[in-house]
Amino acid sequence: MIAAKRVSGALGAEITGVDLARPLSQDAFAEVKRLWLEHLVIFFRDQPLSPAQFMAFAKQFGEPVDYPMVKGIDGYPHIIEVKKLEHERIAFGGIWHTDTAYLPRPPMASMLVAREVPPFGGDTLFANMYLAYESLSAALKTLLESLKAVNTSTKADASKTREDALKTSARQDAKDYVSEHPVVRTHPETGRKALYVNSGHTVRFAGWSEEESAPLLKYLFELQIRPEFTCRFSWQPGSIALWDNRCAQHNAVNDYHGYRRVMHRITLAGDVPA
């Protein structure tokens, strides 16, 4: 029996009653996807999937795609290793963001499986962008719905979180990316509106200067991560997280210096935000 236990009032649910090492039945997949769309991010425990099993599970949800900055693991180009070693100080993805919002077609979803975790720390935070949008005044909603945001892969704070990974796993064809997307996007499956700017990649509003954009973006970035819009997930080996990149942000907490943390990640193809 598939069951979901909510992990916060805002988003997130832990799913039990499934074995992801085997393909889900049509009915089981439909229920898991329904829970994912409802809760934005879902978690599974005790699923120590091999790379082949992890890829098979991902393909049930969508089309795995390359990550533009880091090359995949041997034999599985669509699985990247997200790791921080004992001597490293920078955590990959250690800033609030939606994945690769600088691409013309940002991913629909991302999923992580934990391989090695530190004895403490290394949690991941998630935030609900439906709630962030819905908390805005009617006047501000009207303004934001008329705007597009400029997103870049070179924004300094986000670029810094990739430094250690790029030392050993940089893609030789990596390049700088810039894309414009609506500040408020409509989810293609739920029809709900979500705030779609993020502190990792968004630099300004289209047609505005960075100086003009900064005060409003600062307000939105702070709004998006209010505690009441978030949840926190503590990893164990074999834990899996699957999040909806169209309506949720995430942040890897960098609080475990001196210990290893190794994850495998798959990104799933998305559509053009609208």
Name the catalytic one among 201, 250, 261, 264: 250
Question: Which ranges of the chain would DSSP assign to H, the alpha helix?
Answer: 26-39, 51-61, 129-134, 138-144, 156-160, 163-169, 210-224
- 138: tokens are 């009617």
171 belongs to the catalytic site? no
Q: Give the integer Cα–Cα distance in Å for 35 and 116.
A: 27
| Under 8 Å between Cβ of 240 and 111 | yes
Clarify whether 265 is annotated catalytic. Answer: yes
Of the residues 39, 78, 99, 187, only one is catalytic, namely 99
Q: Which of 162, 181, 185, 265 is catalytic?
A: 265
CB count within 10 Å of CB 271 equals 12
Q: Could you give the dihedral angle defined by the CA atoms of residues 41, 137, 146 and 250, in that order, rounded to the nearest 10 degrees?
A: -20
The DSSP code for 57 is H
Please name every residue paired with 248 in a beta bridge, in sequence order, or none if there are none.
128
Q: What is the CA radius of gyration of the chain?
A: 18
Compute the distance between CA of residue 225 and CA of residue 52 in angstroms, rounded to an integer.
Answer: 35
Determine the Cα angle at 98 with ends 50 and 91, to 5°.
65
Q: Is the dihedral of CA 42, 20, 77, 163 positive or negative?
A: positive
Largest CA distance in the chain: 54
Of the residues 39, 97, 185, 264, only one is catalytic, namely 97
Dihedral-angle region of residue 130 (phi above 0 means left; psi in -120 to 50 means alpha; beta otherwise): alpha
Q: Is 97 a catalytic residue?
A: yes
Distance of CA 201 to the CA centre of its chain: 13
Whether 162 is catalytic: no
Active site residues: 97, 99, 250, 265
